[in-house]
Amino acid sequence: MEHVRQYALGVALMIGEDRRHEIVALWVLCGRGMPAILEDVEDTELFDLEEVAYVAVQRERMTDCLWWRGMC
């Protein structure tokens, strides 16, 4: 994934306790849609991508993921 650093920032969280956890990830991509170079990365089809048209509307949700306090 080193080759995608100029296009994306990613954060992954493992939330929960031993053997009962959930993995939550937040990706911030440059531009609109998924850059073609990311389509070649293994497991990208497993992500549900949501385009954020207005960052201000999603700011709280994104902040919760970056500064995790129990919700994401």
Consecutive 10-residue averages of pLDDT for the chain (72 residues): 71 76 76 74 73 78 70 54
- Please give the pLDDT value at position 40: 72
- Contact residues for 27 (Cβ-Cβ < 8 A; gap 6+): 8, 9, 10, 47, 49
- Please give the pLDDT value at position 72: 53
Distance of alpha carbon 3 from its chain centroid, rounded? 17
Q: What is the identity of the amino acid at 19?
A: R
Number of other CB atoms surrounding residue 64 within 10 Å? 15
pTM: 0.51
- Please give the pLDDT value at position 12: 76
Taking the domains of the chain in order of start, what are their residue ranges? Answer: 2-66
- Please give the pLDDT value at position 42: 75
